[in-house]
Amino acid sequence: MKSIQEVLQKLTIPCSDRSITQFQDYFKYLHQWNKVHNLTSIPEGNKSIIIHLYDSLSLYPHVKNHHHIMDVGSGAGLPGVLLAIAQPDLELTLVECSHKRCAFLRHVRHKLGLKNVLIINKRVESLPPSLSYDLVLTRAFAPLNTQWRYIEHLLDENAYILAMKGKIQPEEIVRSTQHIYAIIKLPPTAEIHHRHLIKLKKKPAVSRGTK
């Protein structure tokens, strides 16, 4: 894949001239800010753009039927901003504790006209339970058991955490077994050999019969 349009076609994501321009502008702003503020380790260049675009938008089939989504530890907006561009009817809340990264997120929200994006500059564990979501995304955020401890109070009854992970560490899975609902293996790419999505969900309460 050599272009943004090829990535969208491969992932069967609807595209328009507007969305392609938004993707291009997002990475342009990211590289501009990165030179000054060191937001992320993503190097400049088309190859890097395609790698991170494909990796982030691989989530699209797993989020397209949801409406209220939180991206925790959003960083520079991967995958949250890219998903907001790909599906404008999603309501996405980006949670990031870094002030400089939130400043960048506000900049791209304004420049790209992303009215479906809300930005919260706080630690996720400090957010009130009244902010409930039907799906919470994480990417390179924290060990699974830590993620559950920080995020559980924000999940609706049928909601879950969808954690993007690379190579699975058995000990990490063991520590979170009681919350793991599914492990989805994503197709590897030439650059990223191990790609997984892990669903963490509340276990249904066991009903107790009366004596």
Q: What percent of the chain has pLDDT over 70?
A: 95
Q: What is the C-alpha to C-alpha distance for residues 77 and 131, in angstroms, rounded to an integer?
A: 20
The Cα–Cα gap between 84 and 182 comes to 25
Percentage with pLDDT > 90 across the chain = 72
Tell me whether residue 6 is in a domain. Answer: no
Instruction: Label each residue of 109-170 as H, E or C.
Output: HHHHCCCCEEEECCCHHHCCCCCCEEEEEEECCCCHHHHHHHHHHHEEEEEEEEEEECCCCH
- pLDDT of residue 199 exceeding 60, the answer is yes
Q: Locate 177 and state its tokens.
A: 């077994």
Residue 25 is part of a domain; what is its CATH number? 3.40.50.150
The answer to whether residue 64 is domain-embedded is yes
Using a cut of 0.75, tell me whether the model's pTM lies above it. yes
4 within a domain of the structure (yes/no): no
**Total residues found in the chain within this entry:** 211
Write the pLDDT tens digit of every residue in 111-151.
999 999 999 999 999 999 888 799 999 998 999 999 999 99
pLDDT for res 204 = 66
The answer to whether position 3 is within a domain reads no
Average pLDDT over residues 70-93: 96
Could you tell me if 96 and 40 are in contact, meaning their C-beta atoms sit under 8 angstroms apart?
no
Please check whether residue 118 lies inside any domain of the structure. Answer: yes
**Structural domain count, the chain:** 1
Average pLDDT of the chain, as a whole number: 90
Beta carbons of 77 and 26 less than 8 angstroms apart = yes
Residue 89 has pLDDT above 80, yes or no: yes
Residue 10 belongs to a domain: no
Judge whether residue 210 has pLDDT over 60.
Answer: no
Mean pLDDT (whole number) for 103-110: 98
More confident site: 114 or 47: 114
11 domain residue, yes or no: no
Residue 209 lies in a domain: no
Host domain of residue 76: 16-201
What are 14-32's pLDDT values in tens digits? Answer: 999 999 999 999 999 999 9
